Amino acid sequence: MTDRTGTGTGRPAITATSAAVLLLLLAMALLGPLLAPHSPTSPVGVPYEAPGGTAPLGTDHLGRDVLSRVLSGGLPMLATSLAAAVLGSLIGVTAGLWAALAGARRAWAEGVVLRPLDAVAALPPLFVLLLALTALPGRAGVIAAVAVAGAPLSARVVRAAAAQAVSRGHVEAAVARGESTAWLLGRELLPLVAGPAAADLGLRFVGAIYLVTAAGFLGLGVGQTDWGLLIAEALPGAALQPTALAVPVLLVAALGVCVNLLADDVLRRWRTVAA
């Protein structure tokens, strides 16, 4: 059953639930280090202790409190993912708008902008991550790698949205007035593709979460308690202490699903307004 806009009657409830869960996860990440009952690096019991007592989620392979490690690991992972997603989107949006504007004047100019990004998109993201960390170890390398891996897709999305906007009357008038490229990109084209750009930022954030988690899983993470590292550490003892594995996996999955649903809602609302 749909309403007059063509969206399902349960869509607002799904969006509200996604927003509430996302806010809860963000609050947990921000306040987690303050709420952790124990040090995330000090043992509080025997290894692989079942949930209960002083360790509500049990202990890991070294006897450390899983709850404290989960609460302490959210902020560095989310901050790194958000920084990488924003940087990648900025690169992609700029390249996509520039390609659309230049391509409307000279067809070959679009290829000059997009072909190098297409070459980057052909590389596996994990290869880009390992290559970047070889040249720039640490958090900066992770951010750079995730941004570079996500920028080509952002550029393609924005270019497709902006391709039709460059023929708008006010854009052509601005070109005729001799406005600068920066003005044309930021003041004339960007407002016309704000919806797709915002939705794509959400998708880049989801991709960044998964890639940063993968970096932690490979031991290349951004801290001693990031959720990817917790997943890697919990795998060998999953049969003895499944909670230590299930909690970070579910948190990463919930974060990705909620952001994805909200990004879809942003794009859907923009299409309704644009129509």
d(CA 164, CA 104): 10
Q: Write down the pLDDT at residue 6.
A: 46
As a whole number of Å, the CA-based R_g of the chain is 22
Q: Which pLDDT score is estimated for 169?
A: 82
As to burial, measured by CB atoms within 10 angstroms (0-12 exposed, 13-18 middle, 19+ buried), residue 3 is: exposed
Higher pLDDT, 264 or 178: 264
Banded model confidence at residue 3, pLDDT cuts 50, 70, 90: very low
pLDDT digits (tens, 9 = 90+) for 194-252: 888 998 999 999 999 999 999 888 888 777 888 999 999 999 999 999 999 999 999 99
* pLDDT tens, residue by residue, 259-275: 999 998 888 888 787 65
**Residues 189-214: b if buried by 16+ CB within 10 A, e if exposed:** bbebbebbbbbbbbbbbbbbbbbbbb
Tell me which long-range contacts 21-28 makes (C-beta under 8 A, separation of at least 24): 21/254, 21/258, 22/255, 22/258, 22/259, 22/262, 25/74, 25/251, 25/254, 25/255, 25/258, 26/78, 28/71, 28/74
3-state secondary structure of 220: coil
> Could you tell me which of 130, 190, 128, 121 has the C-alpha nearest to residue 151?
121
Name which residue leads in pLDDT, 143 or 112: 143
CATH superfamily of 57-274: MetI-like (1.10.3720.10)
pLDDT surpasses 70 at 60: yes
Region 15-23: mean pLDDT is 94
Cα→Cα distances 191→97, 100, 110, 139, 162, Å? 11, 14, 21, 32, 10
At residue 46, the pLDDT reads 92
Per-residue H/E/C for 221-264: CCCCCCHHHHHHHHCCCCCCCHHHHHHHHHHHHHHHHHHHHHHH
- Higher local confidence (pLDDT), 180 or 107: 180
Average of per-residue pLDDT across 161-184: 82
| 66-103 pLDDT, tens digit each | 999 999 988 988 999 999 999 999 999 999 999 888 87
Distance separating alpha carbons of residues 218 and 263, to the nearest angstrom: 28
Structure tokens at 82: 């958000």
Tally of residues, the chain: 275
Mean of all residue pLDDT scores within the chain: 87
Q: What's the pLDDT tens digit per position in 127-167? A: 898 888 888 888 889 999 999 999 999 999 999 888 888 87
Q: Which two tokens stand for residue 20?
A: 């509430």
Q: How confident is residue 1, by pLDDT bands cut at 50, 70 and 90?
A: very low
Q: Which pTM value belongs to this model?
A: 0.87
